[in-house]
């Protein structure tokens, strides 16, 4: 062997030994031994000249569908996502709901239906990229647009979605908790998240606070580095779109069937604030939201398919909102006020006439959308799933367990009682939802009848005097007054106020409860304000409901035959359903009942109101049920069915009786 060769081999050997020693030292010290090459391998960016997204330097287009993890139980997430992928989608779009994860100041939850990390992991396993929309305001037809109620307890004068220091400081705390969890799932870090939204339809918000938008952009950039994912905004294509545009943040728009026929004008509006870059419709609507006391919104499937085809011919990217809607379980449904004080609460179902129905099944619209996507996307080798089984479990007998305004009811259900000069709001009681009972003593009535007026009632009030029902007040129907007759009523006035959902679109501060003076008329025509109130907090959590049931079951003197119109206040009803086999999805048919809240096995299904509709049935996911005994609880506010029975059906009814 030549001396030069020996020298070369000795040099290489020394290098290898040195590297091995260095490796051992780093390992012993607990340092990473994997070279940080991921950021060189994975990048999601924009080519503004070619008007395309770039995934690892290659042109990329996404067609995604909205599916909010908090509108389905975790056991079905994978099935829903797989059904979406089978349609030809390559991404899923989801909001993150601040109020879900941070229900109380300083308290956080990320398990169960709030396990957003698990949701993202499953999406990646099902070959879907993720469009992440962390808000902090999301709208989404959710209570308070996803902002936690305690913000308004902690800061009564807070100005959300502005540069208000109280608001931005709380958003910073929230982002420090949620965004650090999201960071490993960014595309640049090997995860599926390719897009991260900054705010949500801000151009429609009156404040138009550019300083706030720039601050939120910079706050988001603390966790999302350039190339890891693309920051974007979404705005309605109108003359306020510039209010939502942020420097160095990619702009998108949203529109449905109504604007698809004038799509060139829509793109021109988008180009007015962003001359170049890929075209994106971040919310293409195949259906629409529905409120109580109105007809169910529907959209023709053929028209949806044709509009989608039109969008895709422009080489545009699109997110279908909603692809799967799901359910507003519990008290999470919000409300809208489209102007002039027209408060309208959202129904519990978020079926949305979406591409998949509330139970996650494919619809004719799904097949029409899939046929369009075959023309533009590489279809996965996944069969379209069959519909999930549904079971009509039949009717069960319910038993009246007593009214909640009884001493036993208030003892179990009221978690706080405060006496004050004026009625206290839900927020002042630090209460999310449910009911608040307001009580005071009536003065002597001078005229017959007199008028009781409750100013600024949010949202619905059942009025009782000495425990007897007098009438109903309604923010939605603009009824704020009731006549009271002298000589036939007592002295104790009770007003039971229900929160029907905080406004979700273009919110300000939709505080709940009695927010203005309560008055009665005097003989001279003037009004006297009623003072000295006791405000009792009834959040209607299953823990309190269960406590009340236990008290009543164990009471030797308990007897209740309440049926028909409930003249002494809301009543708790209880029944049992036995299931012999493994349970499947079903629908709780509330026809014949009035208005209230339903619970199954401690799970709050949400609000029902078949008296006005259009929603009659409540979707019950199979995982909520169990083989054997299932406990059914209704908290009914107004009236019962004629026989105190309730039915489980295998068919949804969302279009009225």
Give the per-residue pLDDT at 508: 65
In sequence order, what E strands does 530-644 have? 533-538, 571-579, 586-589, 596-600, 603-608, 617-620, 628-636
Q: Are 105 and 150 within 8 A, CB to CB?
A: yes
List the Cα angle 480/482/488 in 5-degree steps.
155
How many Cα atoms sit within 13 Å of 473 on the Cβ side? 26
Mean pLDDT by 10 residues, the chain (657 residues): 40 41 36 38 95 98 98 98 98 98 98 98 98 97 97 95 98 98 98 98 95 98 97 96 97 93 95 98 97 95 97 98 98 89 94 98 98 97 95 97 93 96 97 97 89 97 94 97 82 96 86 97 88 98 94 75 87 97 98 98 98 97 98 97 96 93
What is each CA distance from 413 to 196, 416, 465, 537, 539, in whole angstroms?
Answer: 42, 9, 20, 8, 8
Task: List 586's β-bridge partners, or say none.
Answer: 620
3-state class of 312 per DSSP? helix
Q: Are 129 and 192 within 8 A, CB to CB?
A: yes
d(CA 522, CA 508): 36
**Based on the number of CB atoms within 10 Å of its own CB, is 509 exposed (0-12), middle (13-18) or buried (19 or more)?**
middle
Give the per-residue pLDDT at 445: 86
d(CA 219, CA 171): 9
Q: Spell out the CATH class of 416-538.
A: mainly beta
Q: Which among 157, 138, 156 has a CA at the least distance from the CA of 147?
A: 138
- The catalytic position among 283, 427, 428, 636 is 283
| Fold adopted by 39-373 | TIM Barrel (3.20.20)
Q: Provide CATH 3.20.20.80 ranges for the chain.
A: 39-373
Give the per-residue pLDDT at 426: 97
Q: Are 146 and 95 within 8 A, CB to CB?
A: yes
> Which positions ≥6 away from 477 have C-beta within 8 Å?
none
**Based on the number of CB atoms within 10 Å of its own CB, is 22 exposed (0-12), middle (13-18) or buried (19 or more)?**
exposed
d(CA 116, CA 475): 35
- The catalytic position among 97, 141, 170, 201 is 201
Give the per-residue pLDDT at 393: 98
Active site residue 283: yes
Q: Are 247 and 214 within 8 A, CB to CB?
A: yes
Active site residue 201: yes
3-state class of 272 per DSSP? helix
Q: Considering only the C-alpha atoms of the chain, give the largest distance between any 2 of them, rounded to a whole number of Å.
A: 122
3-state class of 632 per DSSP? strand
d(CA 510, CA 459): 10
Q: Which among 394, 360, 409, 330 has a CA at the least distance from the CA of 570?
A: 409
d(CA 48, CA 58): 13
* Three-class SS of 120-167: HHHHHHCCCEEEEECCCCCCCCEHHHHCCCHHHHHCCCCCCCCCCHHH
Residue listed under structure tokens 């009814």: 653
Give the helix ranges, DSSP H, for 416-523.
none
The bridge status of strand 435-441 relative to strand 533-538 is antiparallel
Task: List 54's β-bridge partners, or say none.
Answer: 45, 59
Count, residues in the chain: 657
Q: Which among 215, 80, 635, 562 has a CA at the least distance from the CA of 413?
A: 635
Give the per-residue pLDDT at 222: 98
Q: Which among 124, 61, 55, 53 has a CA at the least distance from the CA of 94?
A: 124
Q: Provide CATH 2.60.120.260 ranges for the chain.
A: 394-401+542-649, 416-538
List the Cα angle 270/271/277 in 5-degree steps.
100
Q: Are 392 and 360 within 8 A, CB to CB?
A: no
> Which positions ≥6 away from 267 have C-beta within 8 Å?
279, 314
d(CA 191, CA 569): 53
d(CA 41, CA 190): 9
Q: Which among 616, 610, 625 has a CA at the least distance from the CA of 654?
A: 616
d(CA 106, CA 124): 30
Task: List 403's β-bridge partners, or say none.
Answer: 571
d(CA 155, CA 209): 20
Whether omega for the bond prior to residue 136 falls within 30 degrees of 0, making it cis, is: yes
Extract the tokens encoding 108.
């956080």
Task: List 630's β-bridge partners, or say none.
Answer: 577
Q: Which among 341, 296, 339 has a CA at the least distance from the CA of 477?
A: 341
3-state class of 372 per DSSP? helix
| Fold adopted by 394-401+542-649 | Jelly Rolls (2.60.120)
């Amino acid at each position: 062997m030549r001396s030069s060769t020996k020298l070369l081999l000795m040099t290489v050997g020394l290098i290898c030994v040195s590297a091995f020693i260095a490796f051992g030292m780093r390992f012993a010290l607990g340092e990473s031994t994997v070279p940080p090459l991921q950021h060189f391998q994975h990048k999601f960016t924009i080519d503004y000249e070619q008007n395309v997204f770039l995934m690892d330097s290659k042109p990329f287009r996404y067609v995604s569908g909205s599916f909010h993890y908090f509108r389905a139980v975790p056991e079905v997430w994978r099935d829903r996502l797989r059904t979406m992928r089978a349609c030809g989608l390559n991404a899923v779009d989801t909001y993150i709901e601040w109020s879900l994860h941070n229900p109380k100041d300083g308290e956080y939850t990320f398990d169960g239906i709030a396990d957003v990390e698990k949701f993202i992991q499953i999406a990646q396993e099902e070959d879907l990229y993720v469009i992440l929309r962390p808000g902090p305001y999301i709208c989404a037809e959710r209570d308070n647009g996803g902002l936690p109620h305690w913000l308004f307890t902690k800061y009564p004068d807070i100005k959300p979605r502005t540069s208000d220091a109280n608001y931005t400081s709380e958003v910073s705390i929230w982002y420090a908790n949620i965004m650090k969890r999201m960071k490993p799932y960014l595309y640049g870090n090997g995860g599926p998240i390719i897009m991260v939204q900054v705010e949500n339809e801000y151009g429609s918000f009156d404040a138009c606070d550019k300083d706030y938008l720039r601050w939120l952009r910079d706050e988001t950039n603390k966790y999302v580095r350039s190339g890891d994912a693309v920051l974007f905004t979404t705005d309605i294509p109108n003359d306020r779109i510039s209010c939502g545009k942020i420097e160095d943040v990619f702009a998108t728009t949203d529109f449905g069937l109504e604007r698809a026929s004038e799509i060139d004008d829509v793109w021109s509006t988008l180009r007015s604030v962003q001359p170049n870059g890929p075209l994106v419709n971040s919310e293409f609507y195949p259906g629409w939201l529905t409120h109580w006391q109105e007809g169910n919104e529907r959209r023709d499937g053929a028209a949806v398919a044709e509009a989608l085809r039109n969008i895709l011919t422009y080489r545009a990217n699109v997110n279908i909102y909603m692809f799967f809607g799901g359910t507003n379980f519990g008290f999470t449904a919000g409300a809208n006020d489209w102007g002039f004080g027209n408060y309208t609460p959202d129904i519990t179902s978020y079926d949305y006439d979406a591409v998949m129905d509330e139970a996650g099944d494919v619809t004719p619209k799904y097949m029409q959308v899939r046929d369009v996507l075959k023309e533009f996307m590489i279809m996965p080798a996944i069969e379209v799933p069959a519909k999930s089984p549904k079971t009509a479990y039949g009717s069960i007998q319910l038993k009246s367990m007593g009214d909640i305004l009884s001493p036993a009811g208030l003892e179990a259900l009221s978690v706080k009682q405060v006496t004050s000069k004026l009625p206290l709001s839900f927020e002042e009681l630090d209460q999310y939802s449910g009911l608040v009972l307001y009580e005071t003593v009536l003065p002597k009535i001078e005229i017959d009848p007199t008028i009781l007026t409750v100013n600024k009632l949010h949202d619905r009030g059942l009025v009782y005097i000495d425990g007897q029902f007098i009438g109903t007040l309604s923010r939605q129907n603009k009824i704020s007054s009731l006549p009271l007759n002298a000589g036939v009523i007592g002295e104790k006035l009770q007003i039971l106020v229900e929160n029907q959902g905080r406004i979700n679109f273009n919110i300000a501060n939709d505080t709940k409860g009695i927010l203005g003076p309560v008055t009665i008329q005097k003989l001279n025509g003037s009004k006297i304000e009623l003072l000295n109130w006791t405000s009792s907090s009834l959040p209607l959590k299953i823990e309190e409901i269960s406590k009340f049931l236990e008290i009543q079951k164990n009471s030797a003197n308990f007897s209740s035959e309440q049926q028909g119109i409930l003249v002494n206040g809301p009543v708790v009803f209880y029944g049992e359903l036995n299931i012999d086999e493994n349970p499947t999805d079903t629908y709780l048919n509330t026809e014949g009942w009035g208005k209230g809240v339903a619970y199954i096995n401690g799970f709050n299904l949400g609000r029902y109101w078949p008296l006005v509709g259009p929603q009659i049935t409540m979707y019950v996911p199979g995982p909520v049920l169990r083989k054997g005994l299932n406990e059914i609880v209704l908290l009914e506010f107004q009236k019962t069915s004629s026989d105190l029975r309730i039915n489980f059906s295998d068919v949804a009814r969302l279009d009225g009786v």
